[in-house]
């Protein structure tokens, strides 16, 4: 009987420990979601303005750090943070860091990646931008394989569904595009081929699914064969778009170069459309084949077309 009571007490303590962790996690996610919503409501900050789903970095000094897809690779992300001394630079207000989305799925530490990024956003909201990727996409367009809910189930048991619902609210509050005043455009997938103006791009979330803008921003890929136009993507969502659409989009947003994620690259990055698109992939390990993870550290005072020289890699 004593052993049975001890086992029951142990199980109750373990359950209490898990529930406490789940409450802490829910509070963290709710706090980050509230910040994202507040930024949209009040227009952001002095040098980082927010207009619906569009964030603009108005500053022309300091550094811009850009990190592509992480997909649960906490180790590589922390190596980048350490190598570039990101926490110190954020504290000193010398750096803006933009994440291009796809924090979750495929890697076993998606939750830890997500919480690390959210803590950074909460601590430095005016310096950290967490863009939406297709793996954080809208409720009617879930990427596959979507392993994040199963990871939550393994780590939190019966509390997982409510935790996941709070993450869904967070994903729906994320912005989907960032512009710098010098003309660097940052998004996850590709250009929206049917958008006619900046207003439509900023309102892509509200216009979804009647307009394809959000789907294309999260899912599109640049064509590598030299076609003009666009065609359906083999991913099952979005399009493959030609350089002519890149040119049209850059005119609409007054941009010079696009930094995007979404695709693995053998060296961690690749350049498309005559240097107007740069793909960054910032994770290592299976199921991808890249030998390096890439990211960008670019002085905001330098021309955007020099951003290709600001690519750094880690192995």
Q: What are the residue numbers of the active site?
A: 135
Long-range CB contacts (< 8 A, 24+ apart) of 269-275? Answer: 269/294, 269/311, 269/313, 271/308, 272/222, 272/224, 273/222, 273/243, 273/246, 274/243, 275/305, 275/308
For residue 137 the two structure tokens come to 């996409």
Rg of the chain over all Cα atoms, to the nearest angstrom = 20
User: Three-class SS of residue 239?
Assistant: strand
How many C-beta atoms surround the C-beta of residue 174 within 10 A? 21
Could you give phi then psi for residue 169, rounded to 5 degrees? -65, -40
Instruction: Give the separation between CA 152 and CA 26, rounded to whole angstroms.
Output: 12
């Amino acid at each position: 009987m004593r052993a049975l009571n001890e086992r029951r007490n142990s199980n109750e303590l373990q359950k209490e420990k898990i529930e406490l962790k789940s409450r802490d996690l829910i509070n963290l996610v709710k706090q980050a979601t509230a910040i994202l919503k507040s930024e949209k409501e009040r227009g952001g900050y002095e040098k980082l303005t927010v207009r619906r789903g569009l964030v603009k970095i108005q500053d022309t000094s300091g550094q811009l750090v850009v990190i592509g897809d992480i997909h649960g690779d906490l180790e590589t992300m922390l190596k980048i943070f350490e190598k570039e001394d990101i926490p110190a630079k954020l504290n000193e207000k010398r750096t803006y860091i933009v994440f291009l989305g796809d924090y979750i799925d495929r890697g076993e530490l998606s939750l830890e990646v997500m919480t690390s990024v959210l803590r950074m956003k909460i601590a430095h909201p005016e310096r950290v931008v967490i863009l939406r990727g297709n793996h954080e996409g809208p409720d009617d367009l879930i990427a596959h394989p979507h392993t994040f809910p199963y990871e939550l189930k393994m780590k939190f048991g019966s509390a997982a569904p409510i935790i996941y619902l709070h993450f869904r609210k967070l994903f729906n509050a994320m912005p989907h595009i960032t512009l710098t005043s010098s003309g660097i455009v940052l998004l996850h997938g590709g250009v929206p081929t049917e958008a006619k103006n900046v207003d439509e791009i900023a309102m892509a979330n509200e216009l979804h699914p009647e307009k394809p803008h959000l789907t294309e921003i999260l899912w599109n890929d640049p064509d590598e064969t030299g076609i003009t136009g666009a065609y359906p993507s083999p991913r099952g969502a979005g399009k493959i778009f030609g350089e002519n659409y890149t040119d049209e989009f850059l005119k609409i947003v007054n941009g010079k170069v696009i930094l995007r994620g979404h695709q693995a690259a053998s060296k961690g990055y690749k350049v498309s459309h005559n240097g107007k698109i740069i793909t960054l992939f910032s994770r290592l390990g299976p199921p991808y084949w890249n030998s390096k993870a890439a990211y960008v550290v670019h002085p905001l005072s330098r021309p955007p077309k020099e951003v290709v020289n600001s690519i750094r890699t880690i192995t």
